[in-house]
């Protein structure tokens, strides 16, 4: 191995992700990042829209990318409801708040997959790949 290693790229994917966030700019940024790595992206601005997509979308949804403070519900409660409709998706939570702050407030459990907004570089596609590859 030489001293000039290149940073690893996130692998391309054909997975479908449902992005749920009340902020249009966050959904647009997530869409751009994920689609550039081959993901199919569905999006909703609130819990009602997310539940409608989960009920009506014909193909598989592999990952739910959910804001913890999504309009109309807590992100954790929404993830639970969506997984009743579709048990197959994995969940990745996002928030502008730091993970340790959310843990201290009891708003998220330690082992739940989490990414802090705003997303930096290839952070979201790399994290998404980790969620998809996780066992258990």
The 10s digit of each residue's pLDDT in 62-93 is: 999 999 888 767 888 999 999 999 999 999 99
**pLDDT of 98:** 73
The answer to whether 13 and 39 have CB atoms below 8 angstroms apart is yes
20, 11, 32, 6: which is closest to 83 by C-alpha?
A: 20
Q: Is residue 72 part of a domain?
A: yes
- CA dist 70 and 23 (Å) reads 9
- CA dist 3 and 1 (Å) reads 7
Q: Is residue 4 part of a domain?
A: no
The answer to whether 59 and 87 have CB atoms below 8 angstroms apart is no
**pLDDT of 121:** 81
Residues in the chain where the model's pLDDT stays below 50: 1-8, 10
Q: What percent of the chain has pLDDT over 90?
A: 62
Q: Is residue 24 part of a domain?
A: yes
Q: What percent of the chain has pLDDT over 70?
A: 82
How many structural domains does the chain have?
1
- CA dist 80 and 54 (Å) reads 12
Question: The domain containing residue 120 runs over which residues?
Answer: 16-131
Q: Is residue 45 part of a domain?
A: yes
């Amino acid at each position: 191995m030489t001293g000039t290693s290149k940073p690893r790229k996130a692998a391309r994917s054909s997975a479908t992700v449902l992005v749920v966030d009340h902020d249009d700019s966050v959904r647009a940024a997530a869409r751009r990042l994920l689609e550039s790595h081959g993901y199919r992206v569905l999006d909703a601005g609130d819990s009602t829209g997310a539940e409608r997509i989960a009920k009506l979308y014909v193909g598989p949804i592999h990952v739910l990318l959910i804001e913890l403070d999504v309009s109309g519900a807590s992100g954790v409660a929404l993830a639970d409801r969506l997984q009743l409709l579709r048990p197959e998706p994995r969940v990745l939570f996002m928030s502008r708040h730091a993970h340790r702050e959310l843990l201290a407030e009891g708003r998220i459990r330690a082992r739940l997959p989490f990414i802090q907004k705003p997303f930096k570089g290839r952070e979201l596609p790399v994290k998404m790949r980790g969620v998809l590859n996780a066992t258990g």
